[in-house]
Chains A and B, each alone.
Chain A
Amino acid sequence: MTITHAFKYAFNNLRTNKTRTFLTLLGMVIGISSVIIIMALGAGAQSLILNQIADVGSNLVGIMPGGSEEEGPPASVMGITITTLKYEDIMDLTIQGNVSHLEAVTAYVRGTANVSWKNRSIDADFTGTTSSYIDVESTDVEDGRFILPEEERTTARVAVLGSQVANDLFVNENPIGETIKIKRESFKVVGVMEERGVVGFENQDTQIFIPIVAVQKLLLGINHVSMARARIDSEENVDQAVEEIKMTLREAHNIDDPKQDDFTVRSANQALEILGTVTSALNYFLAAIAAISLIVGGVGIMNIMLVAVNERIKEIGLRKAVGAKKSNILTQFLVETVVIALSGGIVGIIIGGVVSALIALVINLLGYEWALIVSPGSIFLACSVSVMVGLVFGLYPSQRASKLDPIEALHYE
C-alpha cells in the first residue's frame, strides 16, 4: 500500500470529524507547547545568566558574610542580615602576600533613600563602596572623578551619581560641584558614572556611590559590609585566589575549622552552577508537566483510535477483502495516529512559540537581555516526541484493527 493513500485517508478522516479531532489534539497541544516553552525558557535563562556573567566577568570572586552549605546559596543572599564581614577584612586581603593574583577588591553596603537637590527629589539606591570599585567592576566615570582612596576611610561627604540618577535629578544641568541631600545629610557630587544598564541582575545606573565608611556611619549606622567582590588577574587563578581569601579571612576571624566559617567565598562560575541547579529544578518541574500532558494526550489519542477502529470494522473487512494485508491495515492506522499526534504537535509548537515570545517580550521590557530561542532542535524534538507518542499509543488500536478476521469484519453489524 502506498503511504500517500494512508496519509490522504487519515487527513480525510480528521477533517470529517472536526470536533473529535480538536478534543483529541488538546492533550498533545498542551504537552508539546510545554516542551517548546521549557526549551525556550531554558535557553533564554541561560542566555540571560551568561550575559550577566559575561558583563560582570568570570574572574570575579564574591565574598559574602555568613557560612553556607557547599552547594547552597549563602544565608545572606536570602535577605538575612549578617554582620560578620567588615571593611577591615577586605583591606586585609590587599596586604601583599595574602592573596596572590588579586587585582582589586571592593566592598559594598546598600540602602535606599529619598535624594533631593534644590526642590527636586527622587528615590534612589545608594551604595557605599571603595575607590577600587571601578577596577573591580571595570567601569569608569563619564564626568568628574570617582571616590578617592583617602576618602573611603573617612566620612567624606562626596557622591558619584549613576547616569540615570544624574539625569532624573539634574535633567540638563551639570551636577558636578552641586550638593545633594540624602536622609538630611549633605553630599557633594564629584562625578557621574558612565551608562552600564543591568549588570549582575541590578540596574547600575540608578545607584549613587558614596565612600563606604560615610554610608556606614552617616546613613545606616552600621559597621559591617553586605558583600565584597575581588577581581583576579585571570580565570585560571580564580580557584587559588578563592582558597587564599578563605585562609586570610579565617586568620582574621580566628577560625580553625572550615565548617565554622562565618563567610562565604564563591567564584562567578560557582555562582553560575548554583543558579544552574535552580533553573534545572524548574525545568524538571516543567518537564514533568509536559510528560504528564503527553501521556494524557497519548491515552486520549489511543482511546479515540479504538473508537475509530470499532466504527470502521466493516471498512477494515472490505480492505482485507480487496487485498490489504495485516501490515497494510497496521500501517494505515499507525499513520492516522501519527498524523493526529503530529497535528497536535504542530499546533503545540506554534502556541509554545507564541508563549515563549511573550515571555521574552515581558522580560525584555523589564530591562533584561533575554533571547527568544525557539531552536530548530527544540522544534525537531517536539516533532519527534509527537511522532513517538503517535506510534506508541497507536500501536495497540492499530494491531487490533490489523488482526480482525476479514469475514467477521465484513459482516459486522
Chain B
Amino acid sequence: MSLIEVLDLKKQFGVEEPITKVLHGLSFKIEKGELVAIMGPSGSGKSTLMHILGFLDRPTTGQFKFNGEDVSKYDDNKLARYRNEKVGFVFQAFHLLPKTSVLENVKLPLVYSNIPEKEKIKKAEKAVKAVHLEHRMHYLSNKLSGGEKQRVAIARALVNNPDIIFADEPTGNLDSKTGAQIMGIIEALNNEGKTIIIVTHEEDTAKHAKRIINLKDGLIISDDVVKDRRYAKDGLYK
C-alpha cells in the first residue's frame, strides 16, 4: 500500500465564472521513505497540489488516498486532525510565532493534540535537538537568523512524528550556503526514513530529491528518478 495514491485528480477554483482550472487530472503514487520534488514554473499548480496532499484543501474531483484511505471528502475537522497527526509543513517564509521561544514554536502542533504537557515538552526538545538548535531552545524566534528560523520550522514539522513532511520552497528566503544547510537536514531526515516532498521551481533544489514530478500548466509532464542527484555536502548548491 502506497502512502499517497492520486488518481485523475482535478482542482478548479470558483463554482461559477470566472472558474480557474488549475490541476487537470493528475495520477501518481508516493511510497514511504521517498524524497520527491514537485517542480515546475511559477503558476503551474505546485502549491495547489501540495495544499491538497497536505490536507489544507480538497480536490474538486478525482481520488486521493492516504495510507489506502480515500480522504478527498473529509470535513474540515477531520482534515485538521490529519494535518495535526499525519503531516508537517515547512514554508518559504518560515511562519514562526514572533516573541515566542524556539521551544514554544516547535511545540505548537502539540498544543492541538491530546498528550500530557510533560510529554509535549519532551517531544519538542527532541525535535529541537534533531535540527541542532538546543543552544537556542529558549531564544525568542525573532532573535534568530534566517537559517535558524527555517531549522525551527523543520523541528516544528517533525515534532508530531508525521508520516510525511512538505517543504514549500524551503530555501527560497535563504542565501545559498544556508540553503545548502537546510537541504542537508532534509536529506538527513530522509536517510532516517522520513518521507519528504519538496516543492520548488528551481531545478538545483529539486535535484536533491530522489525523484522529480515535473508540472506544467496543471499537468505532469515528467515523473522520473533523479540520475545526477546533488547532495548538500558537495557544497555545489546554486
CB-CB < 8 A to A4: which residues of B?
117
User: Could you list which residues of chain A lie within 8 angstroms of chain B, going by C-beta atoms?
Assistant: 1-2, 4-5, 12, 16, 314-315, 317-326, 328, 406-407, 410
- B190 interface hit (Cβ, 8 Å): no
Whether A322 contacts B89 by the Cβ 8 Å rule is yes
In the complex, which of the residues A12, A16, A322, A326 contacts B83, with contact meaning CB atoms closer than 8 Å? A322
For this complex, 22 residue pairs linking A to B, each with C-beta atoms less than 8 Å apart, are A4-B117, A5-B111, A12-B99, A16-B99, A314-B95, A317-B95, A318-B97, A319-B112, A321-B54, A321-B83, A322-B108, A322-B109, A322-B112, A323-B80, A323-B109, A323-B112, A325-B112, A326-B76, A326-B77, A407-B51, A407-B57, A410-B91
Minimum C-beta distance from A335 to chain B (A)? 13
In the complex, the answer to whether A323 meets B91 with C-beta atoms within 8 Å is no
In the complex, the answer to whether B97 meets A322 with C-beta atoms within 8 Å is no
Which residues of B have CB within 8 Å of A315?
97
Closest to A317 in B: B95
Which of chain B's residues has its CB closest to A324's CB?
B112
Task: Give the distance to chain A from B21, nearest Cβ to Cβ, in Å.
Answer: 17
Interface residues of B (CB under 8 A from A): 51, 54, 56-57, 76-77, 80-81, 83-85, 89, 91, 95, 97, 99-100, 108-109, 111-113, 117, 156, 160
Whether the pair A323, B56 counts as a contact (CB closer than 8 A) is: no
Contact with B77, one of A2, A317, A325 (Cβ below 8 angstroms):
A325
From A317, A319, A410, give the contact of B108 (CB < 8 A).
Answer: A319
Give the interface centre of A2, A16, A318, A407 by most chain B CB atoms within 10 Å: A318
Partner of A1, one of B91, B111, B117: B111
Residues of A within 8 A of B100 (CB): 12
B97 touches A323 (CB 8 A): no
CB of B113 within 8 A of CB of A323, answer yes
Nearest chain B residue, comparing its CB with the CB of A332: B111
Nearest CB in chain A to that of B153: its residue: A318
Q: Whole-angstrom distance between the alpha carbons of A260 and B169 in the complex?
A: 96
A165 to chain B, nearest CB (A): 72
Q: Which residues of chain A are within 8 angstroms of B80 by Cβ–Cβ distance?
A: 320, 323-326
Chain A min CB distance to B110 (Å): 9
Structural contact, A321 and B89, CB atoms closer than 8 A: yes
Determine the main DSSP class of A at the interface with B: helix
C-alpha spacing A20/B163, complex, angstroms: 43
| Complex CA distance for A315 and B156, rounded to whole angstroms | 14
With a CB–CB cut-off of 8 A, which chain A residues contact B81? 323, 325
Most interface-central of B56, B81, B117, B156 (chain A CB within 10 A)? B56
Q: Which residues of the other chain, B, contact A319 by a CB distance below 8 angstroms? A: 108, 112
Once the chains are docked, how many angstroms separate the CA of A2 from the CA of B109? 12
Give the residue among B57, B84, B91, B111 with the most A Cβ atoms within 10 A.
B111
- The interface residues of chain A lying within 8 Å CB-to-CB of B156 are 322
A407 surroundings in chain B (CB, below 8 A) = 51, 56-57
Least CB distance from A334 to B in Å reads: 16
Q: Give the residue of B51, B77, B95 whose beta carbon is less than 8 angstroms from that of A318.
A: B95
State whether B85 touches A323 (Cβ < 8 A). yes
Asked whether A321 lies within 8 Å of B56 as measured between CB atoms, the reply is yes
A328: B residues at CB distance < 8 A: 112
Residues of A within 8 A of B57 (CB): 407
* Alpha-carbon separation in the docked complex, A322 to B162 (Å): 11
Q: A1-B112, A328-B112, A406-B56 are in contact. Are A322 and B99 (CB under 8 A)?
A: no
* CB-CB nearest 9 A-B residue pairs: A323-B84, A322-B109, A323-B112, A325-B80, A318-B95, A323-B83, A5-B111, A1-B112, A325-B77
Chain A neighbourhood of B54, CB < 8 A: 321
Chain A contacts of B109 at CB under 8 A? 322-323
> How far is A16 from B95 in the complex, measured between Cα atoms in Å?
19
- Measured CB to CB, the closest approach of chain B to A321, in angstroms, equals 5
CB-CB under 8 A from B112, the residues of chain A are 1, 319, 322-325, 328
Within the assembled complex, what's the spacing in Å between the Cα atoms of A317 and B83? Answer: 12
Rounded to whole Å, the gap between the CB of B140 and the closest CB of chain A is 11
Give the distance to chain B from A6, nearest Cβ to Cβ, in Å. 9
Q: In the complex, A320→B89 CA distance in Å?
A: 11
Cα separation A373 to B203 with both chains bound (whole Å): 76
Least Cβ–Cβ distance between A5 and chain B, in angstroms? 5
CB distance from B36 to the nearest CB of A (A): 20
Give Cα A304 to B108, complex, Å.
Answer: 25
| Cβ distance A313 to chain B, nearest Cβ, rounded Å | 12
Known: A318-B97, A322-B112. 18 other contacts (CB 8 A): A1-B111, A12-B99, A318-B108, A319-B112, A320-B56, A320-B83, A321-B54, A321-B56, A321-B89, A321-B95, A323-B83, A323-B109, A323-B112, A324-B80, A324-B84, A326-B77, A326-B80, A410-B95
Q: Which residue of A lies closest to B95 (CB)?
A: A318
B78 (CB) vs chain A CBs: closest residue: A325
**Bound: A320/B112 CA distance, A:** 10
Chain B residues whose CB sits within 8 angstroms of the CB of A325 once the complex forms: 76-77, 80-81, 112
A272 to B54 Cα, complex, angstroms: 73
Cα A321 to Cα B157 with chains together (Å): 10
Q: How far is the CA of A12 from the CA of B104 in the complex (A)?
A: 12
Tell me, in angstroms, the Cα distance from A317 to B57 when the chains sit together: 13
Within 8 Å CB of A1, what residues of B? Answer: 111-112
> Once the chains are docked, how many angstroms separate the CA of A1 from the CA of B80?
12
Q: A12-B100, A322-B89, A325-B112 are in contact. Are A2 and B117 (CB under 8 A)?
A: yes
Which of B76, B80, B95, B156 is most buried by chain A, counting CB atoms within 10 A of its CB? B80
Expressed in whole angstroms, the Cα–Cα distance for A319 and B100 within the complex equals: 14
Q: Which residues of B contact A323 (CB under 8 A)?
A: 80-81, 83-85, 109, 112-113, 160
